[in-house]
A and B are shown apart, each in its own frame.
Chain A
Amino acid sequence: DQQVKQNSPSLSVQEGRISILNCDYTNSMFDYFLWYKKYPAEGPTFLISISSIKDKNEDGRFTVFLNKSAKHLSLHIVPSQPGDSAVYFCAASRYTGGGNKLTFGTGTQLKVEL
């Protein structure tokens, strides 16, 4: 049962344009969401997070949007840079009663082309 899904396994974007990565979840008990960037053979690196009490959080080039009614979140990267090429995972957790465990999505491979 995949509670967190990233339906696009890959995304290709031109340098300077906006990258939009999407994530859907099924468990309405999730109340905290995170995005991670991962290179092969390395651990994930935290990018940005959002609590369920917000619908938007911004940090530099990265913005995360949360639509609780649709159980959907997205990560916007603008402008995209070649160094952004990596696999991006969204993750969700239940702060209350969930043991703080992270449930990861399946990942989206982003390729930013020159």
Chain B
Amino acid sequence: GAVVSQHPSRVICKSGTSVKIECRSLDFQATTMFWYRQFPKQSLMLMATSNEGSKATYEQGVEKDKFLINHASLTLSTLTVTSAHPEDSSFYICSARDQAGYGYTFGSGTRLTVV
């Protein structure tokens, strides 16, 4: 079945630095990838929709200059958290929609801790 690989699984960074999270579709091409954020005991909140070769579409309230998304190829999307602050600490998850139908495959998530 479809596999989405997300790295790193866990990262700790200092306040003010930037962190890049990668999301790769391993055995299928994903023209669209999605980035979510989950706070403890809460739902997955969509941050942005990433389309290959074009600018990402951000959800209301998500700062596009802080959360940079690049979808340079059909198998790779990256999320860069710029100038990270402790309030950015969260669980970030990507997903990719396979081209065959309605399937959405999720990555394993990245636990970001900003200290």
Contacts and interface: CB of A to CB of B under 8 A. Distances in A.
Interface residues of A, number: 23
> Which 4 pairs between the two chains have the least Cβ-Cβ distance?
A43-B106, A104-B44, A106-B43, A104-B43
Interface string B83-107: 0000000010101010000111111
A44 B32 contact: no
A89 B103 contact: no
B108 A105 contact: no
25 contacts: A41-B9, A41-B109, A42-B109, A43-B4, A43-B6, A43-B93, A43-B107, A44-B44, A44-B93, A44-B106, A51-B102, A89-B43, A89-B44, A100-B32, A101-B46, A102-B34, A102-B46, A102-B95, A104-B43, A104-B44, A104-B46, A106-B42, A107-B41, A107-B42, A107-B43
A67 B45 CA distance: 25
Interface string A61-75: 000000000000000
Given A41-B91, A43-B93, A44-B93, A102 B43 contact: no
A49 interface: yes
A73 B57 CA distance: 29
Given A41-B9, A41-B109, A95-B102, 6 more contacts: A43-B6, A43-B93, A46-B103, A49-B102, A100-B97, A102-B46
Contacts of B42: 106-107
Contacts of B57: 99
A45 interface: yes
